[in-house]
Amino acid sequence: MNRPGTLRWLLPALVVVVSVGCAGARVHERGSDNARSARANLESLKANPELADRAPAELQEAESAVRTAETTDTRDGTLRQHLGYLAEVKVETARAAAEQQLAEDQGKAWAAERERQRNNLSAADAEALRLELAALKARQTERGYVVTISDVLFTTAKWDIKPGAAKNLDRLVALLQKYPNLTIFVEGHTDSQGNDAYNQDLSEKRAGAVKDLLVSRGIASERITEVGHGEGLPVADNKTASGRQQNRRVEIVFEKLNLP
């Protein structure tokens, strides 16, 4: 640490303190240079379109610290300076929080762009696909988009697809035909009736049945990976008949598909 530099600060500060703090300035003052510069920085943050809305809680806290620094009515110059300092630091904290959020948003946008290119989609196609997935009631999960095909797909202990249920897969077939670079996981699940090994086998057969159906409609089998999960990942209560029916399902997972 640089001692002469330190002394340069020590002397003026001492003078300020003695004259304002102890001798007692007669006039109460509000704000400080710190408070004014905190206000200016806060206003410039609020005027920055990329940052203004990205850290509302921190911005609120900064606003309140700046206001306190500006309005505290005291003859205590050191208190004014203290509040001004806190205000400055909180404004900087809000700025950093907003910059963090901005960077995270940009990172997500780049990741989405990368996915779009990986799937060989134009920006317009990506938007259309997003809408089509929404029509299929796809859920967005950590892994990617997941479409559940549960409605009366399988009878207990069976893996052949009920004739009516096959129509539910038509939309999926159309989507896969339209976007030939998409690959999917077809994942089978069972209810809790029967033992684990049996259900594991049954879930694989269910996944296989859906894969076969897709292949029979002209989807290349290399695009489809089948997986059986047994009874381990229920989505509903296995104690009721309707819960068990929901658990007898196949999920179509568009892994890592991350659309804008």
Give the binding site for another protein (CB under 8 A).
Answer: 1-2, 5-6, 8-10, 12-14, 16-18, 21-22, 24, 34, 58, 76-78, 81-82, 84-86, 88-90, 92-94, 96-97, 99-101, 103-104, 106-108, 110-111, 113-114, 117
Q: Among residues 251, 253, 249, which one has the least CA distance to residue 154?
A: 249
Amino acid identity, position 241: A
Rounded to a whole number of angstroms, the minimum distance from the CB of residue 2 to another protein is 6
Rounded to a whole number of angstroms, the minimum distance from the CB of residue 114 to another protein is 5
Nearer to another protein, 95 or 229 (CB): 95
Nearer to another protein, 95 or 249 (CB): 95
Q: Among residues 206, 202, 201, which one has the least CA distance to residue 162?
A: 206
Nearer to another protein, 22 or 27 (CB): 22
Phi first, then psi: give them for residue 64, nearest 5 degrees. -70, -35
Rounded to a whole number of angstroms, the minimum distance from the CB of residue 92 to another protein is 5
Q: How far is the C-alpha of 167 from the C-alpha of 71, rounded, in Å? A: 69
Which residues of 131-223 form beta strands (DSSP E)? 139-140, 144-149, 184-189
Q: Which residues pair with 249 in a beta bridge?
A: 189
User: Structure tokens of 188?
Assistant: 């089978």
Rounded to a whole number of angstroms, the minimum distance from the CB of residue 14 to another protein is 6
